[in-house]
């Protein structure tokens, strides 16, 4: 078991290193921060001085080594725009993002999972079809389209809710609904198919043949098995709590991490982008680890396999 | 003596395609009845239908009574009192018939709680006794294990223990040994015979293996394409099958003693239930079929007191002659 997790953690660290490396290289190859931040009209010597000040005049592999050395010392760099530590900029934005993503996560779970289970139990019924049509619509419609649609209906036409900004809890409703609905749709479809597969298993028939009442066949026998594939999707959703709202934050001008990322990428504010990506990679990897751990908890077959490995 | 279970005119259709065409079958208390036939002949469906275990898309008609109480169309609550407690069932593939994420203890104690009101320590002690009875060594330690930690034969023993937990009057064993090695098969069949004696329990043994049925059953029903085509005491059927299909099945078995002979295969295949031939479903494969056989479905007619056959031209020939 310990070795199982040691391997997982080593793999997780490798994933983070790869993400950070990729971001580092792409950012430096895709545009000159000096030009972006100082503006194209700035005199060449000013841009040169800027490059020197931020160490951009060194060869890329030297910059790369310096960057990793700095990370090792807990130094994530400073914003090239206002000189503040990048990590501080990012941390400031996290509460705003979580204020959207955590309620949206609850919407996904509380709406998507029961809808999926219900649809599976009433397979082929009108309710099942309604849930599935909504679910397909929910994840084929891109979130910015849904966001604009909601704005059109509830802000422009009905005037019930504001179309953007972050002044009160009412401003959070449309972004949360946009995020939550799409995720609930994915989760509903996934839960339904997991549940249908489990309901067709011989051990469900065995449970019925034992005289277990149908309701308890579902709760005691089917759900614990259907939870295993569903946890995968949930883990992915937890992993995207920090950076899963980039589009929605932009549409609703919500000052979260997602918007910061968009602005920082546009400006080639290297340290800020790298800091966000590092954070995103870390949350993704952490939630993956948690999922692995939950698999072991939920499925005894994996547990004994893990012990052998 | 009234039969324990009485099935009459039981019909099942899946999506409008009939797969069971009216089964009549009585099971007496304590007796062992074998159901043989190829896969798809309706052996399992008969009992899944009687216990209300078929999916909702299956249309079930006819009657199945337990001690005179109707089971077909009965309320879920009524069936939950019958399933496991009066009639228990074990299945072909034991490895997938147990819930992979629940311990053996949970799955055994669930039945003990449902049917005998045993909980906690009392349930644990009874669970240990049952596991011991079905021959699981070191039961105390293995109670907390999961199904995948047991071999196929052991899982089937556990299934039998779970089936016995409700102290049923009838055990439906649906191909209980098909997925197991030959040596394990014999052990499981011995175990079934032993628990049957001990609990004075009736048993329906569903199998495509005539040998298995012959050794373990008092009576045998041969099924073909959703109908019972011959019903006879086990020994009589083997010595002297009447229905050409039963003769074919027995002709396909290697003889245990006497001269070696060429095994006879039944020509053709089982008809598709969506396109059954008119008349006797076996007629197209039958070497004795005449014009009348294609005209109407022969009824299962009692010939002598304990034998019945659904054939217009029942053959009373030795196997070797019939095969020529």
User: What 3-state class would DSSP assign to A124?
Assistant: coil
Residue B96 has pLDDT above 80, yes or no: yes
- Please name the member of A209, A211, A298 whose beta carbon is closest to the beta carbon of B101: A298
Residue B316: predicted pLDDT:
59
What letter does residue A78 receive in the DSSP assignment?
A: B
Residue A86 has pLDDT above 90, yes or no: no
Using 50, 70 and 90 to split pLDDT, how confident is the model at B324?
very low
- Please name the member of B84, B100, B115 whose beta carbon is closest to the beta carbon of A301: B100
Whole-angstrom distance, CA of residue B135 vs CA of residue B124: 16
Q: Quick: pLDDT tens for B163-192.
A: 999 999 999 999 988 888 888 888 889 999
Lowest mean pLDDT among A263-267, B38-42, B251-255: B251-255
Residue B122: predicted pLDDT:
92
**Residues with Cβ within 8 Å of residue B287, at least 6 apart in sequence:** B244
Residue A12: predicted pLDDT:
86
**Contact by Cβ (8 Å): B323, B263:** no
User: What 3-state class would DSSP assign to A84?
Assistant: coil
Q: Determine whether domain B5-217 maps to CATH 3.40.50.300.
A: yes
Question: Is A300 in contact with B83 (Cβ distance < 8 A)?
Answer: no
Residue A166: predicted pLDDT:
78
Choose the mutation target among A121, A207, A210 for the interface with B, i.e. most B CBs under 10 Å: A210
Contacts of A299 in chain B (CB under 8 A): 100-101
Extract the tokens encoding A153: 């209906």
**pLDDT, mean of residues A143-163:** 85
Q: Quick: pLDDT tens for B63-76.
A: 999 998 999 988 88
**pLDDT, mean of residues A226-248:** 86
Using 50, 70 and 90 to split pLDDT, how confident is the model at B130?
very high
Extract the tokens encoding B231: 């019903």
The residue with tokens 């309620």 is A103
- Helix pair A270-298, A257-267: axis angle to 10 deg: 140
Choose the mutation target among B85, B91, B100 for the interface with A, i.e. most A CBs under 10 Å: B100
**Contact by Cβ (8 Å): B138, A294:** no
**Contact by Cβ (8 Å): B61, B52:** no
**pLDDT, mean of residues A71-94:** 85
Residue B318: predicted pLDDT:
45
**pLDDT, mean of residues B141-150:** 92
- Please name the member of B97, B148, B166 whose beta carbon is closest to the beta carbon of A301: B148
Distance spanning both ends of chain A, measured CA to CA: 8
Tell whether pTM > 0.80: yes
In Å, what is the CA distance from A70 to each residue of A11, A77, A240? 22, 8, 26
**Contact by Cβ (8 Å): A71, A61:** no
- Please name the member of A210, A212, A299 whose beta carbon is closest to the beta carbon of B101: A299
Question: Is B111 in contact with A203 (Cβ distance < 8 A)?
Answer: no
Question: Is B83 in contact with A210 (Cβ distance < 8 A)?
Answer: yes
Choose the mutation target among A203, A212, A214, A221 for the interface with B, i.e. most B CBs under 10 Å: A203
Question: Average pLDDT, whole number, for chain B?
Answer: 87
Question: Average pLDDT, whole number, for chain A?
Answer: 86
- Please name the member of A211, A299, A300 whose beta carbon is closest to the beta carbon of B83: A211
- Please name the member of B51, B76, B110 whose beta carbon is closest to the beta carbon of A209: B51
Q: Which residue has the higher pLDDT, A95 or B250?
A: A95
Residue B321: predicted pLDDT:
44
Q: Provide DSSP, B35-87.
A: EE--TTSSHHHHHHHHTT-S-TTEEEEEEEEETTEE-TT--HHHHHHHBTTTE
Using 50, 70 and 90 to split pLDDT, how confident is the model at A1?
low
Using 50, 70 and 90 to split pLDDT, how confident is the model at A29?
confident
Q: What percent of chain B has pLDDT over 90?
A: 46
Closest CA in chain B for residue A304? B149
Extract the tokens encoding A177: 């609904």
Residue B104: predicted pLDDT:
93
Sheet holding B170-174, edge to edge: B87-90, B170-174, B202-207, B32-36, B219-224, B227-233, B307-309, B301-304
Residue A306: predicted pLDDT:
53
Residues recorded for chain A = 309
To the nearest whole Å, the CA of B182 is away from the closest chain A CA by 23
Q: Quick: pLDDT tens for A224-233.
A: 999 988 998 8
**Residues with Cβ within 8 Å of residue B197, at least 6 apart in sequence:** none
Q: Where are the domains of chain B?
A: 5-217, 224-323
In Å, what is the CA distance from A134 to each residue of A30, A229, B119, B277? 40, 21, 45, 46
Whole-angstrom distance, CA of residue B221 vs CA of residue B37: 9
* ipTM metric: 0.86
Q: Quick: pLDDT tens for B220-248.
A: 999 999 999 999 998 888 888 888 888 88
Contacts of A209 in chain B (CB under 8 A): 51, 53, 83-84, 88-89, 91
What residues in chain B have their Cβ under 8 A from chain A's Cβ atoms?
48, 51, 53, 76-77, 79-85, 88-89, 91, 93, 96-102, 110-111, 114-115, 146, 148-149, 159, 162, 166
Query: Chain A to chain B, count of Cβ pairs less than 8 Å apart?
Result: 80
Residue B95 has pLDDT above 60, yes or no: yes
Q: Quick: pLDDT tens for B250-306.
A: 877 777 676 777 777 788 888 888 888 888 888 888 888 888 888 888 888 888 878
**pLDDT, mean of residues A50-70:** 84
Question: Is B96 in contact with A304 (Cβ distance < 8 A)?
Answer: no
Whole-angstrom distance, CA of residue A236 vs CA of residue A142: 18
User: What 3-state class would DSSP assign to A202?
Assistant: helix
Contacts of A306 in chain B (CB under 8 A): none
The residue with tokens 């919407």 is A107
**Per-residue burial over A67-90, b = 16 or more CB atoms within 10 Å of its CB, e = otherwise:** beeebeeeebbbbbbeeebbbebb
Question: Is B110 in contact with A212 (Cβ distance < 8 A)?
Answer: yes
Exposed/middle/buried for residue A39 (C-beta within 10 Å: 0-12, 13-18, 19+): exposed
Question: Is B88 in contact with A205 (Cβ distance < 8 A)?
Answer: no
In Å, what is the CA distance from B239 to each residue of A30, B235, B263, B310? 88, 6, 17, 18
- Please name the member of A209, A214, A221 whose beta carbon is closest to the beta carbon of B89: A209
Residue A232: predicted pLDDT:
87
**Residues with Cβ within 8 Å of residue B230, at least 6 apart in sequence:** B221, B222, B237, B241, B242, B243, B245, B246, B307, B308, B309, B310, B311
Lowest mean pLDDT among A80-84, B38-42, B258-262: B258-262
**Longest CA span, chain B:** 68
Residue B9: predicted pLDDT:
92
To the nearest whole Å, the CA of B95 is away from the closest chain A CA by 9
Q: Which residue has the higher pLDDT, A159 or A95?
A: A95
Residues recorded for chain B = 324
Whole-angstrom distance, CA of residue A185 vs CA of residue A187: 5
């Amino acid at each position: 078991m310990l070795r199982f997790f040691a391997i997982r953690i080593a793999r997780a660290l490798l994933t983070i290193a790869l993400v950070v490396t990729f971001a580092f290289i792409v950012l430096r190859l895709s545009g000159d921060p000096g030009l972006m931040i100082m503006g194209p009209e700035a005199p060449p010597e000013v841009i040169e001085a800027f490059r020197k000040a931020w160490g951009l005049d060194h060869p890329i592999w030297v910059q790369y080594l310096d960057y990793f050395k700095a990370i090792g010392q807990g130094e994530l760099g400073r914003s090239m725009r206002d000189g503040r530590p990048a990590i501080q900029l990012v941390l400031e934005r996290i509460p705003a993002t979580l204020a959207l993503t955590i309620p949206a996560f609850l919407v996904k779970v509380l709406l998507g999972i029961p809808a999926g289970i219900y649809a599976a139990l009433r397979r082929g019924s009108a309710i099942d079809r309604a849930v599935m049509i909504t679910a397909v619509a929910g994840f084929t419609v891109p979130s910015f389209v849904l966001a604009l649609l909601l704005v059109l209906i509830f802000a422009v036409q009905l005037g019930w809710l504001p179309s953007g900004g972050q002044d009160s809890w009412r401003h959070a409703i449309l972004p949360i609904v946009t995020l939550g609905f799409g995720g609930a749709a994915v989760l509903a479809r996934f839960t339904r198919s997991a549940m249908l597969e489990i309901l067709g298993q011989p051990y469900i028939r065995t449970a019925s043949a034992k005289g277990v009442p149908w309701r308890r066949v579902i709760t005691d026998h089917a759900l614990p098995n259907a939870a295993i594939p569903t946890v995968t999707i949930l883990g992915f959703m937890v992993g995207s709590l920090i950076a899963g709202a980039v589009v929605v934050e932009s549409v609703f001008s919500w000052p979260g991490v997602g918007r910061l990322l968009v602005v920082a990428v546009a400006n080639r504010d290297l340290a800020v982008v790298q800091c966000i990506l590092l954070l995103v990679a870390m949350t993704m990897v952490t939630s993956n680890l948690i999922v692995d751990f939950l698999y072991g908890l939920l499925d005894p077959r994996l547990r004994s396999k893990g012990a052998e490995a | 003596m009234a039969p324990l279970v009485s099935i009459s005119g039981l019909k099942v259709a899946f999506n409008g395609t009939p797969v069971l065409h009216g089964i009549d079958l009585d099971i007496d208390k304590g007796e062992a009845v074998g159901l043989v036939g190829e896969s798809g002949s309706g052996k399992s469906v008969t009992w899944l239908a009687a216990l209300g275990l078929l999916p909702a898309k299956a249309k079930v008609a006819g009657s199945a009574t337990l001690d005179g109480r109707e089971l077909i169309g009965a309320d879920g609550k009524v069936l939950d009192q019958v399933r496991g407690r009066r009639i228990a069932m074990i299945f072909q593939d034991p490895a997938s018939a147990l819930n992979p994420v629940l311990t053996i203890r949970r799955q055994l104690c669930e039945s003990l709680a449902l049917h005998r009101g045993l909980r906690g320590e009392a349930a644990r002690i009874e669970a240990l006794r049952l596991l011991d009875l079905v021959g699981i060594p070191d039961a105390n330690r293995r109670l907390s294990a999961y199904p995948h930690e047991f071999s196929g034969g052991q899982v089937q023993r556990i299934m039998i223990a779970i089936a016995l937990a409700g102290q049923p009057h009838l055990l439906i064993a649906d191909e209980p040994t098909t997925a197991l090695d030959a040596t394990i098969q014999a052990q499981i069949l011995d175990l079934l015979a032993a628990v049957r004696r001990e609990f004075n329990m009736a048993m329906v043994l569903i199998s495509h293996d005539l040998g298995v049925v012959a050794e373990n059953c008092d009576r045998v029903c041969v099924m073909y394409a959703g109908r019972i085509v011959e019903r006879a005491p086990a020994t009589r059927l083997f010595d002297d099958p009447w229905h050409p299909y039963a003769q074919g099945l027995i002709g396909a078995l290697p003889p245990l003693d006497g001269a070696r002979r060429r095994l006879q295969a039944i020509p053709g295949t089982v008809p598709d239930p969506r396109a059954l031939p008119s008349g006797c479903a076996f007629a197209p494969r039958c070497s004795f079929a005449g014009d009348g056989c294609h005209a109407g479905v022969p009824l299962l007619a009692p010939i002598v007191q304990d034998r019945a056959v659904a054939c217009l031209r029942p053959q009373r020939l030795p196997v070797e002659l019939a095969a020529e």
